[in-house]
């Protein structure tokens, strides 16, 4: 359909107390996201990545008075053609919705994905990242972003992790929430699933470990990092096929969780290339 | 002096409106830290690291009713012996001071360090980390933590970076703010300083770059990452002695700044070892 027709479907919102604004703002809280089964993502780059990966928002929110941009037009056309809603509002209201002082020019409401282990195809990638009880949404998003960079298949969240659909995690993922697969499970669910097929479970550890450089990584390799303060439970480390150590030359005995995943992830990537 | 004598110097604070509590809370804002020339650090592990590196807080704040701990006693003795002040207060007030729901049992007020380039001894380490216009205090603290792990000499902050003495940066550094040297400079100050001695400036780049793996790193290597959204200015990349690329297998063309510094930092560390 011609885009002039499509653009007639825009709805304008001017008041902070509008129910749609309240609905959108509520999505910054986990309980509301969970109830609605949706999450919020912001930014033209991120929404364009989403569109190109086949994720079309149910609702597109645009700031009024923005400069025209062919990618925004493309987003608007895609959303309208899919039967979604296009909202135009003030930059102030968009700022209120995303909780950011300098809001991006667009935000979208997306349906949450299937995050069951069953939805993963382990042979689709040589590397998978696994996070256990990761509490920081920024670390979680950063792991998704790193996963995209190293060509991982996705991120498996073990036990009680931060919500991957939080605004902070989605933002830190820089769009990788749309390109990486996501699964959530307890360790007791994950381990039998892993053992039901090929897969090497790898973790950084101080226990009975070999140097991370040149370790015998094997695809598909599941690279696991633990909670920010506690690290991995000993039983989880012991269930690994490969435990590796990274040099720690200073006073500290651990790295930031997202950093550890990245250093190890790049090492596994190099091993898979050679 | 016997610690029983020392502990008589404790001052108890029970009210939220106490001027000392207001002073301590004010240190969460940069302008107050700057005016006072001090910063706040929290946690027994972190304060013990500080003490063992020769950094004694001017003021030590302890939660009342804590379980006795020899490391807290050691801290208290060191602070009192150095003429510092020891404050005992409620967990609620300590929580208010640090802005954390589950406060650590201790916090300390430390004098800011000399952060001039002149204070750095470049031959003290083979690796130095450099961050340009880094805006996120968490990323900054994480870079300090990574620097400690790879045996870097310290972190050089170029142009307008987040405050390394913010509560968030100090927290994310996990104590490395006390073990790593810190310097702040504009790029126009940094480059002549660098060229006044040995030093290879390295950055991840897409311009005229070689693969990061096996690149000709040379000590002392100054590993530079750029701003979270903009990356490094082209002129800064062009001033580098070595530009390296990391594999990017997905849709994104960059890593989180702290992640990039870590992956590159570990690669340089490996090159220096072999």
Tokens of B56: 């004694």
Average pLDDT over residues A87-95: 92
**Among candidate residues A195, A274, A187, the one with its CA nearest the CA of residue A241:** A195
Do A59 and A81 lie in one domain? The reply is: yes
Task: Please tell me the predicted confidence (pLDDT) of residue B7.
Answer: 58
* CA gap B112, B55 in Å, rounded: 10
Task: Please tell me the predicted confidence (pLDDT) of residue A127.
Answer: 98
Number of domains within chain B: 2
Do A37 and A157 lie in one domain? The reply is: no
Higher pLDDT, A99 or B184: B184
Tokens of A229: 């303060």
Give the end of a domain, one of B76, B111, B146: B111
The alpha helices in chain B, defined as continuous H runs, are: 3-6, 19-26, 30-36, 44-52, 70-81, 91-98, 137-149, 167-173, 176-179, 187-195, 234-238, 257-273
CA distances from A21 to A27, A29, A96, A98 (A): 10, 14, 9, 10
- The answer to whether the CB atoms of A146 and B259 lie below 8 A apart is yes
Tokens of A58: 């149910």
- The answer to whether the CB atoms of B258 and A259 lie below 8 A apart is yes
Chain A CB within 8 Å of residue B55 CB: no
Residue found under tokens 């359909």: A1
The CATH number linked to B107 is: 3.30.1330.30
Residue found under tokens 């949450």: A112
Give the end of a domain, one of B82, B111, B140: B111
Task: Please tell me the predicted confidence (pLDDT) of residue B103.
Answer: 64
* CA gap B52, B12 in Å, rounded: 26
- Give the pLDDT confidence of A224-255 residue by residue, as tens digits: 999 999 999 999 999 999 999 999 999 988 99
**Among candidate residues B226, B146, B144, B224, the one with its CA nearest the CA of residue B191:** B224
Contacts of A246 in chain B (CB under 8 A): 149, 266
Average pLDDT over residues B39-59: 94
Total Cβ atoms within 10 A of residue A216: 11
Task: Please tell me the predicted confidence (pLDDT) of residue A5.
Answer: 47
Is the per-residue pLDDT at B89 higher than 60?
yes
Task: Please tell me the predicted confidence (pLDDT) of residue A7.
Answer: 58
* CA gap A59, A40 in Å, rounded: 10
CA distances from B153 to A77, B72, B112, B148 (A): 53, 29, 18, 8
Do A123 and A29 lie in one domain? The reply is: no
In B, minimum Cα distance to A141 occurs at B256
Asked whether the beta carbons of A108 and A178 are under 8 A apart, the reply is no
Is the per-residue pLDDT at A166 higher than 60?
yes
Do A44 and A131 lie in one domain? The reply is: no
Do B258 and B124 lie in one domain? The reply is: yes
Is the per-residue pLDDT at A186 higher than 80?
yes
Task: Please tell me the predicted confidence (pLDDT) of residue B3.
Answer: 47
Do B251 and B170 lie in one domain? The reply is: yes
Question: Percentage of chain B with pLDDT > 70?
Answer: 96
Task: Please tell me the predicted confidence (pLDDT) of residue A2.
Answer: 45
Is the per-residue pLDDT at A125 higher than 60?
yes
Q: Is A152 helix (H, G, I), strand (E, B) or coil?
A: coil
Do A106 and A223 lie in one domain? The reply is: no
Is the per-residue pLDDT at A147 higher than 90?
yes
Average pLDDT over residues B261-266: 98
Do A125 and A100 lie in one domain? The reply is: no
- Whole domain around residue A195: which residue ranges? 117-273
> Residue-wise over A73-104: b if at least 16 C-beta within 10 A, else e?
eebbbbbbeeebbbbbbbeebbbbbbeeeebb
Ranked by mean pLDDT, the top range of A66-80, B58-72, B248-262 is: B248-262
* CA gap B116, B133 in Å, rounded: 17
- Helix, strand, coil distribution of chain A in percent, nearest 5: 40, 20, 40
Average pLDDT over residues A113-135: 96
Chain A CB within 8 Å of residue B146 CB: yes
CA distances from B227 to B90, B130, B139, B161, B206 (A): 40, 11, 10, 9, 15
Do A103 and A133 lie in one domain? The reply is: no
* CA gap A173, A147 in Å, rounded: 9
pLDDT category of residue B241 using cuts at 50, 70 and 90: very high
pLDDT category of residue A208 using cuts at 50, 70 and 90: confident
The CATH number linked to B262 is: 3.40.1280.10
Strands B11-13 and B59-63: unpaired
Is the per-residue pLDDT at A3 higher than 60?
no
Task: Please tell me the predicted confidence (pLDDT) of residue A233.
Answer: 96
Asked whether the beta carbons of A28 and A40 are under 8 A apart, the reply is yes
Q: What's the burial of B144, exposed, middle or buried (CB within 10 Å: 0-12/13-18/19+)?
A: buried
Residue ranges of E strands in A98-153: 106-111, 127-132
* CA gap B12, B63 in Å, rounded: 10
Mutate which: A155, A251, A265, A271, vs B, most B CBs within 10 A:
A251
Could you give the angle at the alpha carbon of B168 between the alpha carbons of B167 and B174, nearest 5°?
Answer: 95
Residues β-bridged to residue B53: none
Contacts of A258 in chain B (CB under 8 A): 256, 258-259
Higher pLDDT, A65 or A267: A267
- A239 Ramachandran zone, left/alpha/beta (phi>0; psi -120 to 50): alpha
Residue found under tokens 């002096």: B1
Q: How far is B266 from chain A (nearest CA, A)?
A: 7
Contacts of A219 (CB under 8 A, 6+ apart): A126, A127, A198, A200, A272
Average pLDDT over chain B, rounded to an integer: 93
What do you get for the CA distance between the two ends of chain B, in Å?
50
Task: Tell me: ipTM over 0.85.
Answer: yes
Q: How far is A252 from chain B (nearest CA, A)?
A: 7
Higher pLDDT, B202 or A66: B202
* CA gap A244, B266 in Å, rounded: 15
By Cβ distance, the residue of A138, A149, A249 closest to B138 is: A138
> Residue-wise over B211-249: b if at least 16 C-beta within 10 A, else e?
ebbebebbbbbbbbbbbbeebbeeebbebbebbbbbeee
Q: Which of A153-162, B42-51, B64-73, B212-221 has the lowest mean pLDDT?
A: B64-73
Task: Please tell me the predicted confidence (pLDDT) of residue B5.
Answer: 47
Do B107 and B134 lie in one domain? The reply is: no
Task: Please tell me the predicted confidence (pLDDT) of residue B102.
Answer: 66
Give the end of a domain, one of B77, B111, B145: B111
Q: Is A13 helix (H, G, I), strand (E, B) or coil?
A: strand
**Among candidate residues B93, B103, B98, the one with its CA nearest the CA of residue B11:** B93
The sign of the CA dihedral B146, B151, B154, B156 is: negative
Higher pLDDT, B114 or B199: B199
By Cβ distance, the residue of A138, A179, A213 closest to B251 is: A179
Is the per-residue pLDDT at B234 higher than 50?
yes
Is the per-residue pLDDT at B164 higher than 70?
yes
Do A47 and A150 lie in one domain? The reply is: no
Asked whether the beta carbons of A153 and A100 are under 8 A apart, the reply is no
Do B93 and B148 lie in one domain? The reply is: no
Is the per-residue pLDDT at A134 higher than 90?
yes
Contacts of A52 in chain B (CB under 8 A): 251
Task: Please tell me the predicted confidence (pLDDT) of residue A4.
Answer: 46
Q: Is B40 helix (H, G, I), strand (E, B) or coil?
A: strand
In B, minimum Cα distance to A211 occurs at B270
């Amino acid at each position: 359909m011609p885009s002039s027709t499509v653009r007639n479907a825009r709805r304008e919102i001017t008041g902070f107390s509008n129910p749609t604004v309240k609905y959108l703002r509520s999505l910054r809280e986990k309980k509301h996201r969970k109830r609605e089964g949706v999450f919020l993502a912001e930014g033209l780059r991120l929404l364009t990545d989403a569109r190109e990966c086949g994720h079309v928002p149910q609702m597109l929110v645009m700031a009024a008075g923005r400069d025209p941009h062919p990618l925004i037009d493309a987003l608007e056309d895609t959303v309208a053609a899919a039967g979604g809603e296009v909202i135009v509002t003030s930059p102030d209201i968009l700022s209120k919705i995303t909780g950011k002082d300098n809001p991006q020019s667009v935000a979208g409401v997306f349906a949450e994905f299937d995050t069951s282990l069953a939805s993963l195809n382990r042979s689709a990638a040589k590397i998978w990242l696994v996070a256990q009880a990761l509490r920081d949404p920024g670390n979680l998003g950063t792991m998704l972003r790193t996963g995209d960079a190293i060509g991982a298949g996705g991120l498996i969240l073990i036990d009680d992790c931060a919500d991957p659909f939080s605004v902070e995690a989605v933002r830190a993922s820089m769009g990788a929430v749309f390109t990486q697969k996501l699964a959530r499970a307890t360790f007791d669910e994950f381990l039998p699933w892993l053992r039901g097929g090929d897969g090497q479970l790898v973790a950084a550890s101080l226990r009975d470990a070999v140097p991370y450089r040149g370790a015998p990584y094997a695809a598909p390799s599941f690279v696991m990092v633990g909670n920010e303060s506690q690290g991995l439970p000993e039983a989880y480390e012991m269930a690994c096929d490969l435990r590796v150590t990274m040099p720690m030359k200073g006073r500290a005995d651990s790295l930031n969780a997202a950093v550890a995943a990245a250093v190890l992830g790049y090492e596994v990537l190099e091993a898979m290339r050679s």
